[in-house]
Amino acid sequence: MKQITINDLVKTFSLEVLTAKNELDDVIMQPQTRRPGLEFIEYMDFLPKEHVHVLGEDEIRYLDNLTDEQCERRVSNIVKYHPPCIIVTDDQSGLVYLTKYCTKNNIPLLRTDEHNYEFIKKIDAYLIKNMAPEIAVHGVCINVFGIGILLRGKSGLGKSETAHTLIGRGHRLVADDIVVIKKLSPQTLLGTHNGKNREFLALRSVGLLNVVRQYGRKAFQDETRIALDIELTTWKSNTLNNGLEMETKFTEYMDVQVPHIQIQLQPGRDVAGLIEAAANNWYLQQQGYSAAEEFRKRLESDNYKSSWE
């Protein structure tokens, strides 16, 4: 898991720092924010620690309606658990007790003029993506028809050349050589570059290409959800399965299973076209359609015969 500091939040979201300016290098441990509501009414049976706390108009107005004694007590209840920072949205003012206790406990109190719900969506998305567990995989990541594909295989088999052909057909490069895979949820993997290889594609006998400079912005995108794992392998006689015999196989990355397809290479095979077909077929399967299932039904009918039988 990558580390995010409070200062990263300040810079990313242009936050105003009200207290504890010397504590901005503290690390945030939880990839989601929390709105302390029940805690303000002193329901303290369960208070998740280490979350960034976000307070909007509802919470601040509630505190404003309390007596000084009540407000002081309830703010101190939150602050004593020492959250990494507290962010006040909607440019709220009159933060007397929040400022007092955050200063006393060296907790950064930050402020933004953005509305609460919009801000929470943005900061949660930022934290989840940037703190997600990640691994680096040797291969190429490309977006084909809006579908993220991880293209793997031994060095020299033609992964980058295949990606170049797909770019020529209007698809988009995400990463070449080193693909960073982030686990955003138990079911979702995000493929991206490592920063250094952004926009670059290495082709043997040609050299390094900047696909954006050469083919325009449409040839590249920063990230994509990985839906298919395609492995390029050398040709092996008598090992190709037809469409009726194929069973879905999976490759596992960080406990997330991704459908796996193996494409054997041979001079003359349209590998880029096969990848396009695999992407379209995956999309149809997500819509509930199976070509193999429909074909089986036809084979079972009395008036349909096929050489595939």
pLDDT at 272: 94
Residue 204 phi, psi dihedral angles, 5° rounding: -65, 140
- Single pTM value for the model: 0.78
* Segment 250-291, tens digit of pLDDT: 999 999 999 999 998 888 889 999 999 999 999 999 999 888
Reported as a pLDDT band with limits 50, 70 and 90, residue 190 is very high
Give the residue numbers marked as catalytic.
138, 159, 177
Residue 150 phi, psi dihedral angles, 5° rounding: -95, 115
How many residues are there in the chain? 309
110-127 average pLDDT score: 92
Fill in the amino acid letter for 263.
Answer: I
Which is it for the CA torsion 26, 30, 33, 35, positive or negative? negative
- The closest of 158, 209, 211, 150 to 180, measured between CA atoms, is 150
Residue 8 phi, psi dihedral angles, 5° rounding: -60, -40
Q: Does 47 have pLDDT greater than 70?
A: no
Q: Does 29 have pLDDT greater than 90?
A: no
Reported as a pLDDT band with limits 50, 70 and 90, residue 37 is low
Range 169-206 burial, b when 16+ CB lie within 10 A, else e: eebbbbbbbebbbbbbeeeebbbbbeeebbbbbbeeee
Q: Does 305 have pLDDT greater than 80?
A: no
61-84 average pLDDT score: 82
Reported as a pLDDT band with limits 50, 70 and 90, residue 239 is low
Rounded Cα–Cα distance for residues 251 and 305 (Å): 35
pLDDT at 244: 53
